[in-house]
Amino acid sequence: MRQQLIKIFPELNLITNEDLREKTIAVWQEAIEQGGWKVSDLERIPFTLLISDCPVNMIDHTRGVTQVAIEAAKKLREFNNNIYQIDDDILISGGLLHDVGKILEYKNTPAGIKKSDTGKLLRHPFSGAGLAMKHGLPDKVIHTIAVHAKEGDGGYRCPEAVIVHHADFMNFEPIKNGV
Ligand SMILES: [Fe+2]
């Protein structure tokens, strides 16, 4: 499964710290196994259930958010006068894992992919953070997963989490709003 994950998420290879890269892979692997999915299912799993017949799958959404975050970080670093630092490894791991909990939030049914019983109680920021904590990801990655969505509004977000949060909504709102 490791090689399949690297193939669908080539951004994993951009994580320079090998330990962080392997832990990021391990979290995806466990989510897929725990949810009873296969890696290939990610192609048909919509990135959100809030858009009916969602045209974007989990792979493209996850990659889109991660790549927008990487590009945004380059420009922020160029113009932020070194006021704060952005750790690319944290950013990329956080981008790749921000929605991993959705694999547990959803379930496969004959009528399509629906919210799971777990998902009704624990939205993906909670289940994703729990998985990441179990695998020993750095606190900043766990934090980025935990606060990337509405649950994080009104509280502190570290710079990497701010970037992933906005990259996520850039990859969500125009699709939700229709074209
Ligand atoms: Fe997302």
Q: For residue range 122-176, what is the model confidence (pLDDT) as tens digits? A: 999 999 999 999 999 999 999 999 999 999 999 999 999 999 999 999 999 998 8
Q: How far is the CA of 3 from the centre of ligand 1 (A)?
A: 23
Taking a 5 Å cut-off on Cβ, the residues next to ion ligand 1 are 99, 168
Residues 6+ positions from 3 with CB-CB distance below 8 Å: none
- Determine the distance separating the centroid of ligand 1 and the alpha carbon of 79, expressed in angstroms: 26
Q: Please tell me the distance between residue 124's alpha carbon and the centre of ligand 1 in angstroms.
A: 9
**42: nearest Cα among 148, 113, 90, 119:** 113
pTM of the model: 0.95
